[in-house]
Chains A and B, each alone.
Chain A
Amino acid sequence: QSVLTQPPSASGTPGQRVTISCSGSSSNIGINTVNWYQQLPGTAPKLLIYSNNNRPSGVPDRFSGSKSGTSASLAISGLQSEDEADYYCVAWDDSLNGHVVFGGGTKLTVL
């Protein structure tokens, strides 16, 4: 069971806007920044959003992140077929001398 809670699945049709939630606690998201990773089928994960709401160079502005309290969200607008992937939220957790925690991942299906 993951420390950060994500819905196991999400779906949308091309052009739609979808959001993926990530719920944590006061020891992780509540006081630390959140990063998001995209894992396309059969490939290594790729950094999608860093420090809550920043996109690395090359990531389309269709992807955006936000954080409020102990939760974070990833939004994808103008959904495209190539967005079909697994998405993970990650944060530092201050408990147990500090460690990194992952969400369980959300499988996004483009219908």
Chain B
Amino acid sequence: QVQLQESGPGLVKPSETLSLTCTVSGGSISHYYWTWIRQPPGKGLEWIGYIYYSGSTNQNPSNYSPSLKSRLTISVDTSKNQFSLKMSSVTGADTAVYYCARGVGDSWLDTWGQGTLVTVSS
């Protein structure tokens, strides 16, 4: 049974870059949409983006939220069975619980990590 686990700093300073990693265990990283979602405290879920790993290093399309696109990079490291999120120029509005998830389809997310709280504060 596949499991996902987010990791990364819980506190990031304003204007810096938020970096999170999701480790995939118990399953292959190929042929899925590896997705990031976030949830500000007391609010709803927000899709951040995904990277689709086809099994080939040359065909791994990513897709990002239009409102966040300019600040995002999602990448995959097959050697470690991990995928990562980098979000630049963070502000307090980026404070949230960040979830990683496995997508069978673009919005069909069948497995989720437990989530990690990232606070943006000086």
Interface residues of A, CB < 8 Å — how many? 29
A71-111 with Cβ < 8 A to chain B: 86, 88, 90-92, 96-105
Interface flags for B47-82 (1: CB within 8 Å of A; 0: not) read 101100000000000011110000000000000000
B82-119 with Cβ < 8 A to chain A: 99, 104-110, 112-115
B108 touching A51 by the CB < 8 A rule? yes
B45 touching A100 by the CB < 8 A rule? no
Q: Cβ of B106: which chain A residues have Cβ within 8 Å of it? A: 92, 98, 100
A18-76 with Cβ < 8 A to chain B: 32-33, 35, 37, 39, 43-47, 50-51, 56
Q: Count the A-B residue pairs with Cβ separation under 8 angstroms: how many?
A: 70
CB within 8 A of A90: which of B49, B104, B107, B113?
Answer: B107
**Residue B16 is within 8 A (CB to CB) of chain A in the complex:** no
Main secondary structure of the interface of A (DSSP, over half): strand
A96 touching B66 by the CB < 8 A rule? yes
Q: Cβ of B64: which chain A residues have Cβ within 8 Å of it? A: 99
Q: Cβ of A86: which chain B residues have Cβ within 8 Å of it? A: 44
B63 touching A105 by the CB < 8 A rule? no
Query: CB within 8 Å of B: which residues of A?
Result: 2, 32-33, 35, 37, 39, 43-47, 50-51, 56, 86, 88, 90-92, 96-105
A-B contact pairs, 14 of them (CB 8 A): A2-B44, A39-B45, A45-B37, A45-B45, A46-B112, A47-B108, A50-B108, A50-B110, A56-B110, A97-B66, A99-B65, A100-B65, A102-B44, A102-B47
